Amino acid sequence: MMRDFVGRPDRPASLAVAAFLAGACLMLVCGCSHLPRPHWPWQHRQAQTPQAVHELDVSSAAGGAEVTLPQYWKGNTLVVDLQPAGSTGQLIMKPRAHTLWPVRIAFRVMPGQLGALEVRAKQRVVLPITPAGAQPIDLELPPGVFVMKSPEMTVTWGSTDAAAQ
């Protein structure tokens, strides 16, 4: 009699334990689904394309016609992309109506496309551009070139000799 009792498992108890374990595993999997995925060294995140914004009104210096240049936020720096602008030119930039200048401004250029970049606002600064490189670079304006009360900013680019004058 003892043999029958020990040899036969108690089915209702084992089913209850199995159901409990299955429920606990299900809750663990569902509960952990909101956690961030682990970072594996061989996984690389896809680079997000920057979202275009319109913070500055840009116009040509010659005719005053509005020019469309891509503008992006990179942290707290507004990046104005000068790559589609050509090898020489001059622009006038102003903050949009009823707004202020961004705290930091940078210009994205392709090495070798331009020789130098001249910016005039409160101060004048000439930023040389390295001729070597395959990736676009961001040239950030140093502090003090423009202030929040600056009415406009003139940006001129071209060869190194033209910007030095």
pLDDT per residue as tens digits for the range 105-124: 999 999 888 889 999 999 99
Mean pLDDT rounded to a whole number for the chain: 83
Share of the chain above pLDDT 90, in %: 41
- Picking from 90, 85, 99, 102, the residue whose alpha carbon sits closest to that of residue 146 is 102
Q: How many CB atoms lie within 10 A of CB 13?
A: 9
pTM above 0.85, yes or no: no
Chain CA centroid to CA 73, Å: 6
Please give the structure tokens belonging to residue 137.
């670079």
Mean pLDDT of 89-98: 92
Share of the chain above pLDDT 70, in %: 84
pLDDT at 165: 53
